Amino acid sequence: MRRIAVVDDSHAVRQSLRLLIGARGFQVDTYAGSPDLLSAADLAAYDCFVIDLKLEGPNGADLLAVLRARGLEQPAILISGWDVDSLERVAFASGFSAQVRKPMMEDSVVDEILRVLALADAIIKPAPEGPGGADN
Cα–Cα distance measured from residue 109 to residue 101, given in angstroms and rounded to the nearest whole number: 9
Q: Are 37 and 44 spatial neighbours (Cβ–Cβ below 8 Å)?
A: no
Helices (H), the chain: 11-22, 34-38, 60-69, 87-93, 106-124
- The CATH code of the domain that includes 60 is 3.40.50.2300
What is the SS3 assignment for 20? helix
Q: What is the pTM of this model?
A: 0.85
Checking if the pLDDT of 134 tops 60, the result is no
Distance CA 14, CA 3 (A): 15
**Is position 98 within any domain?**
yes
- Any domain includes 136: no
- Confidence at 136, pLDDT banded by 50, 70, 90: very low
Quick check: is 131 in a domain? no
Binning pLDDT at 50, 70 and 90, where does residue 135 land? very low
31 lies in a domain? yes
Domain-located, residue 132: no
pLDDT of residue 20: 92
In what order do the strands lie in the sheet containing 3-7? 27-31, 3-7, 48-52, 76-80, 98-101
Type of residue at 136: N
| Structural domain contains residue 29 | yes
Split into its structural domains, the chain has a count of: 1
What is the domain extent for residue 42?
3-124
- Is the pLDDT confidence value at 133 over 60? no
The one-letter amino acid code at 98 reads A
